[in-house]
Amino acid sequence: MTTPFSAPTQRALRTLSLAYFVQATGALSVVGSLDAISRQWGLADAQSAYLLSVFGVTFAFAAPLLQVGFGHLRRRRQVLLGLAVFSAAALLFAAAPNYPVLLLSRVLMGLGAAFIGPVLGALGSSLTDREHQGSAIAVVLLGLSVAGLVGMPLSAWIAHAWGARTLFVAVGVASAATAALIAWQVPDSSEGEHIKLSTVTALLTRVDTLSAFLVVFFIAAGVYSTYSFIAPIIRDVFHAGPGTVSTSLVVLGVAGVAGNLFVTRAARRYRAETMLLAGLALLAADLAFLWFSAPSVRWLFVALTAWAFATDLLWPSQQRRIVELVPQWRGVALALTASFVFCGIGLGSAVAGWIYPVLGFAGVIGSSLLFLALATLSLRISQASVGAKAKPGTCGSSLQS
């Protein structure tokens, strides 16, 4: 199979993909280890789920502000700083004596991830030419898919077998090792951006960019309204135990890798908007299927396969669309994209915490479908705004540094 990248660029992109894997596993391992965390610290499921929410909210606010304060640093340095904070915070989580310290550690993990996540896509896309940026971003985001294939089920298994503290020690050590690998394999050639707060404000007040950010916000909220409670759902609705949770995460991961490999190739043929609409339609149909099908583990695995494939159509396509929309501000734009992702994750997991105890499985599925409808509406608004600016005689607005 031919590749558009040179061997050194391939190695660099795969190393950045590993960083995404470590960040995603550490950030989202709360989902698979929800029961283990609740048992270890004597928490209710909703309290454990809020550890995911506080991470998301911290990330959402920190990512653009860190780009304003530190975006001028070379992008590799930003990633290394983020991994150092992320590693230390994971070790603090492992040693936490009580719930307030758990919350503090998740805030610090959110700060570290706010340095890592937004910069990885920009750093990866800067290593290749414009024609292959979509494929480069998909390679970097493969780490997110592999986190589903290996990281999430492995974290669930470790937490179940050896406890949540051991899991987060492993996350801390893996983060430090990944930082060393990046310093070795990834060129320090990508300059940062001198970002003013006015630039962030402009991106958030333009209709085309704000609505584009809202697309991924509502997608993330829709996904995590159901996904954040996957372990309790499997326990309560499908009457299965921790082994089925781990198997379900493996199914998600395998399908996710397949979806990412498809996107890596499809990005060379199809527009980002086309891929987003296809992913939204597939995910909505899959949620409806999961809602109305019999509560069978076999049908659950079928639904999770389509779920993972759909989400892997969405994440890289959204990042690609943002890069194409404002290429001159890709760093801060991807930071804002990541902010909206994790703010959506925070909202979705919080909604699940509110709705699931009252309305159960049907409630979280219904909320997911509502959020996906809002994501589709936001994409249509963004497309219409971009189209209006492209018409002859229409003055487009530009961002001033």
Give the pLDDT confidence score for residue 200 in this predicted structure: 84
pLDDT of residue 256: 66
Q: How far apart are CA 367 and CA 218, in angstroms?
A: 11
44 phi, psi to nearest 5 deg: -80, 160
- CA dist 322 and 160 (Å) reads 39
Q: Where are the alpha helices (DSSP H) in 187-296?
A: 197-205, 207-227, 230-236, 242-266, 272-292
What's the structural domain count of the chain?
1
Return d(Cα 127, Cα 189) in angstroms, integer.
9
**286 in any annotated domain:** yes
Domain with 136, as residue range(s), is: 9-387
- The beta-carbon contacts of 268-273 under 8 Å, at least 24 apart in sequence, are 268/134, 268/135, 272/134, 272/317, 272/318, 272/320, 272/321, 272/324, 273/321, 273/379, 273/383
pLDDT at 87: 96
- Is residue 262 assigned to a domain? yes
pLDDT the model gives residue 173: 95
Decide if 332 is inside a domain.
yes
Q: Quick check: is 54 in a domain?
A: yes
DSSP sequence for 280-332? HHHHHHHHHHHHHS-S-HHHHHHHHHHHHHHHHHHHHHHHHHHHHHSGGGHHH
Residue 352 covered by a domain: yes
Q: What pLDDT was estimated at residue 284?
A: 94
DSSP letter for 398, please.
-
- For residue 253, what pLDDT is reported? 66
Residues whose CB is less than 8 angstroms from the CB of residue 347 and which lie 6 or more positions away in sequence, other chains included: 53, 56, 217, 220, 221, 224
Q: Tell whether 211 is covered by a domain.
A: yes
Q: What is the pLDDT of residue 391?
A: 64
Q: Which two tokens stand for residue 72?
A: 């001028």
For 148, the token pair is: 């589903």
Domain assignment present for residue 396? The answer is no
Query: In 72-146, which ranges are continuous DSSP H helix?
Result: 75-95, 99-125, 133-146
Instruction: Note down pLDDT in tens along the chain; length 401 residues.
Output: 456 667 777 788 888 888 988 998 898 788 778 788 988 998 887 788 788 878 878 887 888 888 888 878 888 889 999 999 999 999 999 999 999 999 999 999 999 998 887 788 778 777 776 667 667 777 787 776 677 667 777 888 888 889 999 999 999 999 999 999 998 888 777 776 777 888 888 888 999 889 999 999 999 999 888 877 777 787 788 777 666 766 776 676 677 667 766 776 776 777 888 889 988 999 999 999 888 887 877 788 888 888 878 887 887 788 888 888 888 777 778 778 878 887 887 788 888 888 888 888 889 999 999 999 999 999 999 999 887 776 655 444 444 43
63 contacts 114 by C-beta, under 8 angstroms: yes
Per-residue pLDDT at 91? 96
Q: In CATH, what number is assigned to the domain containing residue 127? A: 1.20.1250.20
- pTM greater than the 0.85 cutoff: no
Q: Is residue 309 part of a domain?
A: yes
The Cα–Cα gap between 280 and 92 comes to 38
If you search the block for the tokens 């734009």, which residue do you land on?
333
Question: Residues 108, 92: contact at Cβ < 8 Å?
Answer: yes
